[in-house]
Amino acid sequence: MPLEFGTDGVRGLANAELTPELVLALGRAAARVLGGPFLVGRDTRRSGPMLQAAFSAGAASEGVAVVDLGVLPTPGVAYVSARWDAPGAVISASHNPFPDNGVKLFAPGGRKLTDAEEQTLEQELHALVAGTAGGDRPTGAGVGHLDLDPAAVEAYAAHLISSLEGRTLEDLTVVVDCGHGAASTVAPDVLAITGATVHVLGAAPDGVNVNAGCGSTDLGPLRTAVVELGADVGFAFDGDADRVLAVDAAGGVVDGDHLIALCALDLRGRGRLKDDTVVVTVMTNLGFRRAMEAAGIAVHETPVGDRHVLEALDAGGWSLGGEQSGHLIFRALATTGDGILTGLQVLDIVARTGRPLADLASKAMTRLPQVLRNVAVAARADGDAIRLMAPAVEAEQARLGAGGRVLVRPSGTEPVVRVMVEAQTEEQAEGVALRLAAEVARVLGP
């Protein structure tokens, strides 16, 4: 059975779960459902060229032209997709270790697939793998052709720089950790063009070092470098650069919740936060919600996944949304989460206000202690399985009262259940999380 779509495309161990044969079939299915020409980019994993070739071959076998964008961040592919009004694919497993890989898809216009489009694509993929899909393949001149677009990186970089509206960052010193991923091709040059003094880490990808002790999965090297170099800000990207975490001048971590909060307050102050509303997911810290309420900003909550955030932004016509993990969507500027764009917007706030990032972040919100636990289960859990946990969840929530929050949800990508607890103290949150994790293991464990 082919891999099923999770919250962000398909993902698995490259050449084992995610095989070239399966990706070729996915390329065929995507071409049938989404049309073409098809834009295909990738991150820096060793398996990337292999799987990109397989996807491209599948699309071309359906008579669709394919444009190879090379190594390009996921939001870069989305930008070119919007610019061309063409579908796109990104061969990447984002923050996963390098042996994994995945395929993310964009519909024409650079937008995430709808549930209906995903379902149709899954059905077509299953039929192709089973050999039951109809239709003759084109031959001769009908076969799709493969082109290169070496200007994609430059076009995306120009788009990023234009978001500053002519302002510069020339008085700021920045350290960027590209995680040996796709940000390596764009982030250092873009920041240098804005006038910032830039120090670069993790920008020597060799196919196996993506996310390895660097980038957003390990902030240690960045925190050390920011302090030692006396930098104002540091940014760490994941493999495909669709999210970012920040570090202040003292080496303190500024997560996605704080970044969303300070950006929301800045946009509202400049009259650019539509309806004074921000969109976040159920994982967003309770401290964020309290800070926004105090500031008079409405909070719209969605399930986990930047696709859900984007759907809410478009439905409400709102300006800003994001996730604690560092996916931020500036809807007037992008169709998906963009780590480099977020970094530029944060630096712009620092430059315009003349205030350190630590001050901006601490004034924007106060984070409640939050504990996360991942519990292995027998199979990917669904809603019925999670409902079995309702009595235990309700009991723990009653203990916490209004001073805390409990969330138990299935992962969208792997057979684990995620337990999240927020409380007034770290010890209290740890205790609740441990009890709930044990109950999940007892009721749903392998």
Grouping H, G, I as helix, E, B as strand and the rest as coil, residue 359 is: helix
CA angle centred on 249, ends 247 and 254, rounded to 5°: 25
- Give the strand pairing for 146-148 and 233-237: unpaired
The values of phi and psi at residue 271, to 5°, are 70, 25
Is 94 one of the catalytic residues?
yes
Residue matched to tokens 């077509």: 124
Q: Which residues contact 357 (CB under 8 A, 6 or more apart)?
A: 232, 233, 246, 248, 249, 254, 346, 350
**Total Cβ atoms within 10 A of residue 377:** 20
Max CA-CA distance within the chain?
69
| CA 258-263-268 angle, 5° bins | 130
Q: Is the dihedral of CA 224, 228, 234, 238 positive or negative?
A: negative
Q: Which of 94, 184, 216, 325 is catalytic?
A: 94
What does the block give as tokens for 129?
Answer: 């793998």
Compute the distance between CA of residue 401 and CA of residue 101 in angstroms, rounded to an integer.
41
Backbone angles phi, psi at 211, to 5 degrees: 65, 15
**Residue numbers annotated as active site:** 94
